[in-house]
Amino acid sequence: MEARVSRYEVNSLLYRLKKDPEFRARFVANADAALAGADLTDAERAAFVARDMRKINELGGYLHLVMSIPGLAGH
Amino acid sequence: MGRIVFAGAMSHVLDPDYYDRACGELGRRSVVAAMDEIARMGERLSATNPDALIVVADDHLNAFSFNCVPALCVRIGRRVQRMVQDHAEAFDKVLDHMPTEYPLHEALGNAILEQGLAAGFDLAMSWEAPVDHAFLSPINTMHGARPIPPLVPIFVNAFVAPQPTARRCFAFGQHIARVVAQSPWKVGIIATGGLSHFPELSLPRVGETDTVFDRRLIHWMETGEHGPLQELTADELHKTGSHEFLNWMVLLGAVTPARAEVRYFGELPRINLAAVEWRLA
């Protein structure tokens, strides 16, 4: 149960990337800086910086979010 | 005395360009064929001159984020808005050309909500949640240029574990049938999504389906065997990529023991497309 409901940080970040164009632009310009305040593990942070949607999905990112973030979507 | 005058269920990404990109020419041809059948279902719905159309569908983390994910939610109020997404991609892009606002059947939505709470269903309510392709792609395909009847959108949490059970969704559908029967209205109901796709919500497995599982579901719906359908587990639905069948379970509860007739079933690498209609007494 823990693993299925504890991915809040990853998913709230994905949601923000999808719905907040200004944050998305900051992330695209400098991912490290945009993620500075995010409460992520090293593996999660590395996956976001690499824009590795497969890894983000593997780490608990919901599929429909990783498939639909404008300009960053995994397919 | 009110009654359900139409019941149908169908896949809900109804976009030839999307399937062309995902599956090539076969994808385009298949979804166009499915959409033709869904449009004919819409003509039969319109012929009943319904007072309202209940749409049971799921959110794709568009209306509800991580502030709250309701298991079952009735969208109440007078109007509902289309989800807005800048630079939409993939399944979000199908919304781009659709009308931005739709009327709701406020009295029926309130009745389902209020009588549901009184009957023991701890339903969520929303006055503001927008609706995404899961709601709007089917209803626009069904109606084309004809007016869309006042809607009652009902959200089922299909994707964010833990979800409501298949049995609970079926029971909620039975509740809807009771509310409609005690109302003065002729009501259509559709459920959307599926059939199998995106097993385990795993990006590397996008492109897999489970046709054996889908055909089993269809068999049970065609024969009116709703007992085994209520036994479906969250694990089965997750592994086969049948999360959205929970929406169909609500409809099945509303029309049981009616039998289904398949209007379209087509296998694609990305999803098995389906359109099903129920023979109502």
Q: Do B89 and A54 touch (CB under 8 A)?
A: no
Question: Which residues on chain A are in Cβ contact (under 8 Å) with B67?
Answer: none
Q: Determine which of B66, B67, B198 to mutate to test the interface with A (most A C-beta atoms within 10 Å).
A: B66
Q: Return the percentage of chain A with pLDDT > 90, whole number.
A: 83
Across the interface, whether the CB atoms of B85 and A11 are under 8 A apart is answered no
Q: What ipTM did this prediction achieve?
A: 0.89
Q: Return the pLDDT at A1.
A: 38
Place of tokens 């079926």: B170
Tell me the per-residue pLDDT of A16-75, one tens digit each, with 9 for 90 and over: 999 999 999 999 999 999 999 899 999 999 999 999 999 999 999 999 999 999 998 877
Whether B35 contacts B171, CB under 8 Å: no
Whole-model pTM? Answer: 0.96
The pLDDT tens digits for A44-56 are 999 999 999 999 9
Flag if B162 and A57 touch (Cβ within 8 Å).
Answer: no
Residue of chain B nearest A15, judged by CA positions: B65
Q: Give the pLDDT confidence score for residue B65 in this predicted structure.
A: 85
Q: Are B155 and A60 in contact (CB under 8 A)?
A: no
Q: Does B60 touch chain A (CB under 8 A)?
A: yes
Contact between B90 and A57 using a beta-carbon 8 Å cutoff: no
The phi and psi torsions of B223 (rounded to 5 degrees) equal -95, 0
User: Exposure pattern of B161-198 as b/e (b: 16+ CB <10 Å)?
Assistant: eebbbbebbbbbbbbbbebbeebebbbbbbbbbbbbbb
Q: What is the pLDDT of residues B89-118, one digit of tens each?
A: 888 999 988 999 999 999 999 999 999 999
E-strand ranges in B164-235 read 186-192
* pLDDT given for residue A6 in this prediction: 56
Contact A21 B87 (CB under 8 A): yes
The pair of three-digit structure tokens given for residue B138, joined into one six-digit string: 């089917």
CA distance A58 to chain B (A): 7
Interface check for B85 against chain A (CB to CB < 8 A): the answer is yes
HSE of A41, CA atoms in CB hemisphere, 13 A: 10
User: CB contact, 8 Å: A17 with chain B?
Assistant: no
Every domain of chain A and the residues it spans: 2-66
Gap between the Cα atoms of B137 and B139, Å rounded: 6
Q: Is B84 on the interface with A (CB under 8 A)?
A: no
Sorted by where each begins, the domain ranges of chain B are 3-279
User: Any bridge partners for residue B105, and if so which?
Assistant: none
Which residues of chain A neighbour B159 with C-beta distances below 8 Å?
62-64
- Note the pLDDT of residue B66: 85
Indicate yes or no: CB of B204 within 8 angstroms of CB of A54.
Answer: yes
Mean pLDDT within B131-137: 97
Partner B contacted by A22 (CB < 8 A): no
- CB-nearest to B203 from A4, A5, A63 is A63
Mutate to test the interface with B, among A15, A28, A63, A75 (most CBs of B within 10 A): A63
* Mean pLDDT of all residues in B51-60: 97
Identify the CATH assignment for B3-279 out of 3.40.830.10, 1.10.1740.10, 3.30.420.40, 3.40.50.1580. 3.40.830.10
Q: How confident is the model at residue A5 (pLDDT cuts 50, 70, 90)?
A: very low
Measure A32 CA to nearest chain B CA, in Å.
Answer: 23
- pLDDT higher than 90, residue B281: no
